[in-house]
Amino acid sequence: MARRRDITKAEIIDAARHLIEMRGCNGFSVRDVSEEVGLTTASLHYHFPTKGGLITGVISQDRAKMNERMAAIEGEAETFASRTELMNHFFSTTSRDPGAIGPAVVAVVDLFTLPLECQAEVQQWFLNLEGWLTRFAMQARATGEFPTDRPVDVQVSEACASLLGTMLLSRTREHLSPLQGSGPRLANRIHGHNRPPGTGLP
């Protein structure tokens, strides 16, 4: 691909985000990003000297978008349940490609294989989400929306799991969609083998 001279850092980050969503943090190289945007690897290194810095840029941008959406939700809903529902919608619609998964969730899975600068950014992303949920969980406890016999941290952990799972399910459903309209015969056959009756196993 011929080199373009007007490539911006935002375009590079978008390309890296796409690769993270589809391949994971460890499934692409700087060369892959440079080929996608039409830059030489040396030119890309001018903007992002390391792959870790590039991944950090993606997560940092996504964290800013998440924080912006969380701030807006505060004025759009009043209960913990309705706020988390809006966040579920945000997480399930932010990926641009079918089968993609949010870069932050990928980075959580890959956390301890990433450079320290990436780990710090991923942890901050998660802390922002957890802190937002904790604040409204405390409010929900005070207003009676939550029962008093369950610890707030348990409620927050369950909400975090639900939100992170939303992005995983979005990807899974996309890959399963060809089976959904194929009828029970195909749904009961995986990779050419009959599923044993009553076992739930392939």
- Percentage of residues of the chain with pLDDT beyond 90: 56
pLDDT tens for residues 10-65?
999 999 999 998 888 999 999 999 999 999 999 999 999 999 999 999 999 999 99
Q: Which two tokens stand for residue 33?
A: 């990003």
Residue whose entry in the numeric block shows the structure tokens 């089976």: 179
Which residues partner with 168 through β-bridges?
none
Going from the N-terminus, what domains does the chain have, and what CATH number goes with each? 9-176 (1.10.357.10)
What does pLDDT average to over the chain?
82
Q: How confident is the model at residue 172 (pLDDT cuts 50, 70, 90)?
A: low
Which residues touch 7 (CB under 8 Å, ≥6 apart)? 37, 38, 39, 43
